[in-house]
Structure formats: structure tokens, C-alpha cells
């Protein structure tokens, strides 16, 4: 490990990669970014739950052959060109809180743009300079997405919220991101001006996991910005390494945070969704004898009503 060195050139972009107990995937993601970006961007490895993970992660980094520096986000300078900035975060702050540590660090150093990428992604096409050009050409766009491929599924550009039940599905038509009123840029890979991201309040931390990216998008919308996607930047996404695909924990956060999103940004729809929940959703689970799903639905709703947000202390 080398000591933090002040940057010899001012980077346009800081790239945030949040790790939570998946260091091998994060290392692969970071390696690819360093290959493509060179000195144009600064890559920050944000280590969530570092109090538990450092004994395993530090030897991996030391053996990686990468140039890296352990940073204090409150005191240290940006890493130098080609050097990974490693920021340990003692507890598990979730997607929102963990990435906000990096966002505030970039803001303190006046890095103009922030690119957040999931740790289980691989940059397949394009680079940060393409995103910067798009942002400079269209300053009215606040959040930028890009092409995301996941396995054998068709490439998508964003997500959209279904007005019937506020569940989400992918948006395969890039043009719809700018026109669809319920579309939002995925937190899997999103690009924005650092100053703007801080000005809208950073990523809302009361969600902890899931729907926080949608909420961040709506804060940009409220501030008068549009959404867009850059044709020419594409990533491969594995998906749900930290929580597991459709795990009970994932389902709980999705359901609880969906209620929070409705309350915060669509309050006129809340009573109708509560009625639908009691007259349809719970009965569907009960009649289908899906008691585990019924319990999740009810606990998520009860915690929302009680104002229990952020990281849950429930175990599934």
C-alpha cells in the first residue's frame, strides 16, 4: 500500500464502486475500469462493513498488484492518477449511505462528475469521457444512464415504475427515459454532476437498499432536471450478489421502500394503494397459501406505517 498522493492532474470524474462482502467481484470491476480509464478518472473502492471485512480484503488488495491508497474521506487528498482510493466504512450503511461517503468525498475535492457503478458490473463499451461529453452537451439532463446487459436478457437503459402497483420493470427503449413520466435511471450505473447530486440531498438514506435510486431520480426531477442515457456506454451486470436474487431480505426492502416512495413522491396515490394492498395483495397470498410471502408483505407494511426505515433489524 502506498501513501495517498495529491493528484497531479484534476480528474473530471470520480467512479464509486461499493463493496459489501464481494471483494473478488469488486476487484474485477476495478481492474477493468483502470484498464479503460487510465488517468482520466479516479476510482474509489468503498468498503462497507469494513470492521468485519478488512482482514480478508486487505490481503487481496496487497496481492492484486494494483496501486492503491487507504483514504480517510474526511481528511485525505484524492488518489493519484491510476491509483485506487480505498475507503473503509466501519459499518454497513447500505447502498445509499455507502455511496454517499464517496459522493461527499468527491464533492469536497470539487470533482465535477460522479459515476456510480455496482461492484458486480463490467465496463463493456465506452468510458467516462463519453459520459462527460454527453453531460456537457445537454446540461438540462441531471442523471444519465447507459446500456445494461444482464445474461441473455435484452439490453435495457433504465427502469420504470408501474402505476398499477408501483412495482418496477426494465425500460428497453432508450428514448423513453426522456419521455416516460415514471422512468428512472438505474442505480446499477448512473452518472451525474457531483455538485448537483449533493444539492438535491445525496442518495436518500432512509431506504438503505432498493428504491433509493428511484428516489434519487425523483429528487433530480423535483429540481427541474431531465433524465437521459448515453448510447455508446454499456456495462455487463451480474446482479444481486450482496442480497441474493429474490431473497427474503431483498423482498422485504423492496416492499417496505415501495411504500415510502409512494408516500414521499405520490402521496395522492397512497390511500388507493393501501386499499389495494388490503383487498387484493394480502388475500392473493393467503388464498395461494403463500404464507412466507404474506408475512413479508405484512411486516414491510407494518414497518413502513411505524416509520421504521433505514437498515432493518429483522432477520429472514
* 292 domain-assigned: yes
> Rounded to whole angstroms, what are the CA distances from 119 to 130, 235, 277?
21, 11, 34
Which residue has cell 433530480? 220
Res 7 pLDDT > 70: no
37 domain residue, yes or no: yes
Q: Tell the residue number behind the cell numbers 433504465, with chain if given.
A: 158
Domains in the chain: how many in total? Answer: 2
Same domain, 86 and 29: yes
DSSP 281: I
- Give the pLDDT confidence of 153-209 residue by residue, as tens digits: 899 999 999 989 999 999 999 999 999 999 999 999 999 999 999 999 999 999 999
| Per-residue pLDDT tens over the stretch 56-92 | 999 999 999 999 999 999 999 999 999 999 999 999 9
Q: Are residues 140 and 17 in the same domain?
A: yes
DSSP class of residue 209 equals: S
In b/e form, how buried is each residue of 98-135, taking b as 16+ CB within 10 angstroms?
bbbbbbbbbbebebbbbbbbbbbbbbbebbbebbbebb
The residue-averaged pLDDT of 279-291 equals: 63
Instruction: Pinpoint the alpha helices (H) of 180-268.
Output: 194-199, 212-222, 248-265
Is 313 contained in some domain? no
Same domain, 39 and 126: yes
Question: In the chain, where do the E strands start and end?
Answer: 13-19, 41-47, 68-70, 84-88, 113-118, 121-125, 141-149, 158-161, 168-171, 183-184, 189-193, 226-237
Residue 214 has pLDDT above 50, yes or no: yes
Residues 149, 90, single domain; the answer is yes
**pLDDT per residue over 26-50, tens digit each?**
999 999 999 999 888 999 999 999 9
Give the pLDDT confidence score for residue 6 in this predicted structure: 43
In a domain, 91, yes or no: yes
Whether residue 78 contacts residue 95, with contact meaning beta carbons closer than 8 Å, is answered with: no
Instruction: Say whether both 90 and 36 belong to one domain.
Output: yes
> Same domain, yes or no, for 194 and 68?
yes
Do residues 182 and 119 share a domain? yes
Same domain for 269 and 194: no
> Average pLDDT of 130-147?
98
Q: Are residues 159 and 287 in the same domain?
A: no
Evaluate whether residue 310 is within a structural domain.
Answer: no
Of 237, 272, 295, the position where a domain reaches its end is: 237
Question: Do 31 and 168 have their domain in common?
Answer: yes
155-170 per-residue burial string, b: 16 or more CB within 10 A, e: under 16: ebbbbbbeeeebebee
The answer to whether the Cα torsion of 125, 174, 179, 238 is positive or negative is: negative
Higher pLDDT, 280 or 102: 102
For residue 135, pLDDT over 80 is answered with yes
pLDDT in tens, 303-312: 999 999 999 9
CATH of the domain at 46: 3.90.550.10
**Domain ranges, residue 218:** 13-237
Residue 140 sits in the same domain as residue 18: yes
What pLDDT does 144 receive? 98
Whether 221 maps to a domain, the answer reads yes
Q: Judge whether 315 lies within some domain.
A: no
Residue 243 lies in a domain: no
* Same domain as 281, residue 217: no
Amino acid at each position: 500500500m502506498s501513501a495517498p498522493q495529491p493528484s497531479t492532474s484534476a480528474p473530471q470524474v470520480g467512479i464509486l464502486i461499493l463493496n459489501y462482502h464481494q471483494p473478488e467481484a469488486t476487484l474485477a470491476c476495478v481492474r477493468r475500469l483502470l484498464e479503460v480509464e487510465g488517468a482520466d478518472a479516479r476510482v474509489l473502492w468503498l468498503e462497507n462493513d469494513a470492521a468485519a471485512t478488512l482482514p480478508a480484503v486487505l490481503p487481496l488488495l496487497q496481492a492484486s498488484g494494483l496501486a492503491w491508497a487507504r483514504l480517510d474521506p474526511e481528511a485525505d487528498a484524492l488518489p493519484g492518477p491510476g491509483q485506487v482510493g480505498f475507503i473503509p466504512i466501519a459499518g454497513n450503511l447500505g447502498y445509499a449511505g455507502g455511496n454517499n461517503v464517496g459522493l461527499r468525498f468527491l464533492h469536497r475535492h470539487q470533482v465535477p462528475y460522479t459515476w456510480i457503478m455496482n461492484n458486480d458490473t463490467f465496463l463493456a463499451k465506452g468510458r467516462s469521457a463519453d459520459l462527460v461529453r454527453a453531460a456537457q452537451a445537454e446540461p438540462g439532463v441531471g442523471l444519465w444512464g447507459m446500456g445494461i446487459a444482464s445474461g441473455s436478457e435484452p439490453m435495457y437503459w433504465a427502469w420504470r415504475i408501474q402505476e398499477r402497483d408501483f412495482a418496477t420493470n426494465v425500460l428497453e427503449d432508450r428514448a423513453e427515459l426522456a419521455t416516460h413520466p415514471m422512468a428512472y435511471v438505474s442505480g446499477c450505473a448512473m452518472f451525474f454532476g457531483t455538485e448537483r447530486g449533493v444539492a438535491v440531498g445525496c442518495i436518500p438514506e432512509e431506504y438503505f437498499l432498493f428504491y433509493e435510486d428511484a428516489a434519487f431520480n425523483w429528487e433530480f426531477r423535483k429540481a427541474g432536471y431531465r433524465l437521459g442515457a448515453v448510447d455508446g456506454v454499456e456495462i455487463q451486470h451480474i446482479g444481486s450478489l450482496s442480497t441474493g436474487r429474490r431473497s427474503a431480505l431483498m423482498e422485504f426492502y423492496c416492499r417496505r421502500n415501495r411504500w415510502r416512495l409512494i408516500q414521499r413522491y405520490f402521496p395522492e396515490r397512497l390511500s388507493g394503494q393501501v386499499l389495494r394492498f388490503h383487498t387484493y395483495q394480502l388475500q392473493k397470498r393467503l388464498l395461494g397459501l403463500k404464507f412466507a410471502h404474506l408475512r413479508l408483505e405484512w411486516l414491510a407494511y407494518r414497518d413502513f406505517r411505524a416509520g421504521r426505515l433505514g437498515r432493518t433489524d429483522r432477520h429472514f
